[in-house]
């Protein structure tokens, strides 16, 4: 009996020791399960986002995950990677056995950050991250200088319009106040009519009579190049600026489902990448000129041809976008050319001489002054047509031209409008058509620019993937993942805290963000 009692005692002691050991082992394994679960979730996220859209990266250098509707692709991809990681083929101590038998039950996206969110700032960040190793210092300084020159040209154009208004408002013997507000689209002929209606004309006898050769007055305006230029401005300018032999693209842009038409709510995000606002804008605009074709791009693609023009103006056809770009460039060049004319005494003398020849017979200084201002604008606009034609032909035009770069005499404007002048002079150190468009990009609203860029990305991606949508492209995601894990010692039911529920499995969940 004594020997038997010792055996029983040792057996009970050994049982307690084994229970203690497996309890410690199971506790350690539980912590390992949690660590494995977290690592598995993060690894599955990393692996999922490694499946970014390769076509988009090859075309545009942008890494985004096509998550499908409501992020369903994220869920399926993560479940697949997690199952591969913990299917029993990894972390094995010996064949057919694993210490961490984890099984993913569900993956549920909690928050999805899409490329189209945050007013386009996410997409812009991806672009600048891709481009940030380009040098921006010299470019930024040069662009700021060019933008300042553009502003001076715009001021000069406004001053020319003010001069027309001032000619009406100046007291040249008017009977009363005129009620005319400055509008750049008022024909000069009508502005002069206001002067006539409010001016007393003195005849040779010294008596004041309201007599005026209206027929001659109207004919002078109709025959002048000012009238022709105003007609061109009204919408007929495109045919004058296209280089010979060039053809317009007839492509339309399907606007349905484009990002710019479905801008989500939210505020812009700020990313710290070592660049200031100007540096980011320089890189973004350089990116646009490198990755999106325009009228002067030699390589033609399927679909819309003038993508850079679309990003600027957002029209639904190539022709409409080109027309908007040309009109904007004509106005820019008109202002800069007015600045050149005003700074040239010889050209101003020629303008005064022609204005006097056209309207000096009226003996009304206000009309001569108005005609002079109108001729400056007409001459500058004619020169602008030559400039834009050169730009569309692949040439360069200086922002501020010197005398050698000037194309038209004042009388030559009429020849240009008749189509007898075809080629213009090129500025050796000037800007190209693409350079001018880049300057316009700096003046464009950032949000519109970002979303129209995404429009073009989507249009081009749909050539190979008809179901592609930018709003389904994911930049970041927060997901929850729930897992279950088998117990290593299920027969020790007292280790599980009781026999109710699911005593042989642990259930965990974790939330992670990429």
Pairing of strands 102-114, 208-209: unpaired
Taken as a whole, the chain contains a residue count of: 514
Whole-angstrom CA distances from 276 to 129, 135, 281, 435 are 13, 13, 9, 22
What pLDDT score does 433 carry? 92
Among candidate residues 198, 293, 204, the one with its CA nearest the CA of residue 251: 293
Residue in the block written with tokens 């259930």: 507
Contact 165, 184 (CB under 8 A): no
- Residue 127 · residue 441 · CB < 8 Å: no
* 474 contacts 112 by C-beta, under 8 angstroms: yes
In percent, the amount of the chain with pLDDT more than 90 equals 9
Contact 13, 29 (CB under 8 A): no
So what's the pLDDT on residue 138?
Answer: 65
212-230, pLDDT tens digit by residue?
677 777 787 777 777 778 7
Query: Residue 486's beta-bridge partner residues?
Result: 505
Better pLDDT: 447 or 142: 447
Q: Return the higher-pLDDT residue of 419 and 211.
A: 419
Asked if 118 and 266 touch (Cβ cutoff 8 Å), the reply is: yes
Residue recorded with tokens 């965990």: 508
Q: Which residues pair with 180 in a beta bridge?
A: none
Q: How far apart are CA 421 and CA 413, in angstroms?
A: 9
216 burial (CB, 10 Å; 0-12 / 13-18 / 19+) is exposed
| Arithmetic mean of pLDDT, 287-294 | 91
Any idea which of 156-160, 313-317, 501-505 has the lowest mean pLDDT? 501-505
| Lowest pLDDT segment from 12-16, 107-111, 189-193 | 189-193
Give 119's DSSP letter: G
Query: Is the pLDDT confidence value at 1 over 60?
Result: no
Average pLDDT, the chain: 77
Q: For residue 181, what pLDDT is reported?
A: 40
Query: Alpha-carbon distance 295 to 325, whole Å?
Result: 10
Q: Report d(CA 1, CA 440) in Å as an integer.
A: 104
pTM of the model: 0.79
pLDDT exceeds cutoff 90 at 308:
yes
Handedness of CA 282, 285, 290, 291 (dihedral sign): positive
Instruction: Quote the pLDDT of residue 157.
Output: 73
**Phi, psi values for residue 97, rounded to 5°:** -140, 140
Q: Which of 250, 248, 256, 261 is nearest to 459 (CA)?
A: 256
């Amino acid at each position: 009996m004594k020997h038997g009692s010792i055996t029983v005692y040792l057996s009970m002691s050994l049982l307690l020791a084994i229970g203690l050991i497996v309890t410690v082992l199971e506790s350690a394994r539980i912590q390992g399960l949690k660590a494995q679960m977290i690592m598995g979730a993060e690894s599955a996220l990393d692996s999922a986002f490694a499946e970014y859209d390769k076509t988009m990266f090859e075309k545009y250098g942008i890494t985004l995950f096509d998550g499908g509707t409501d992020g369903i692709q994220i869920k399926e991809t993560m479940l697949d990677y997690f199952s591969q990681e913990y299917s029993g083929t990894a972390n094995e101590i010996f064949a057919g056995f694993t210490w961490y038998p984890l099984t993913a039950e569900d993956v549920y996206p909690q928050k999805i950050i899409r490329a189209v969110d945050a007013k386009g700032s996410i997409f812009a960040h991806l672009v600048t991250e891709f481009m940030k190793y380009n040098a921006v210092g010299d470019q930024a300084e040069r662009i700021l200088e060019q933008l300042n020159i553009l502003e001076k040209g715009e001021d000069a154009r406004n001053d020319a319009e003010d001069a027309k208004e001032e000619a009406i408002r100046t007291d040249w013997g008017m009977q009363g106040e005129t009620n005319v507000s400055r509008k750049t689209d008022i024909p000069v002929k009508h502005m002069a009519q206001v002067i006539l209606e409010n001016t007393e004309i003195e005849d040779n006898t010294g008596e004041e009579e309201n007599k005026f050769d209206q027929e001659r007055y109207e004919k002078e305006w109709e025959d002048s190049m000012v009238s022709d230029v105003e007609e061109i401005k009204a919408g007929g300018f495109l045919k004058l600026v296209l280089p010979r032999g060039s053809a317009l693209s007839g492509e339309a842009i399907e606007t349905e489902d484009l990002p710019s038409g479905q801008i989500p709510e939210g505020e812009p995000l700020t990313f710290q990448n070592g660049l200031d606002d100007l540096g980011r804008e320089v890189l973004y605009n350089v990116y646009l000129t490198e990755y999106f074709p325009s009228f002067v791009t030699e390589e033609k693609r399927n679909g819309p041809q003038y993508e850079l023009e679309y990003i600027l103006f957002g029209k639904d056809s190539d022709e409409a976008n080109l027309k908007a770009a040309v009109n904007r460039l004509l106005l820019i060049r008109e202002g800069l050319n007015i600045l050149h004319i005003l700074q040239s005494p010889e050209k101003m003398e020629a303008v005064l001489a022609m204005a006097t020849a056209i309207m000096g017979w009226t003996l009304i200084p206000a009309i001569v002054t108005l005609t002079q201002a109108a001729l400056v604008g007409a001459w500058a606009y004619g020169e602008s047509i030559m400039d834009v034609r050169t730009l569309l032909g692949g040439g360069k035009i200086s922002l501020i031209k010197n005398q050698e770069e000037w194309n038209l005499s004042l009388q030559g404007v009429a020849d240009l409008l008749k189509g007898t002048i075809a080629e213009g002079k090129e500025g050796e150190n000037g800007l190209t058509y693409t350079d001018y468009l880049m300057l316009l990009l700096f003046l464009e609203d950032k949000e519109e620019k970002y979303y129209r860029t995404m429009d073009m990305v989507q249009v081009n991606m749909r050539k190979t993937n008809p179901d592609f949508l930018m709003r389904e492209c994911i930049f970041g995601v927060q997901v929850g993942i729930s897992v279950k894990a088998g117990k290593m010692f299920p027969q020790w039911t007292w280790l599980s805290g009781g026999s109710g529920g699911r005593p042989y499995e642990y259930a965990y969940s974790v939330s992670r963000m990429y």
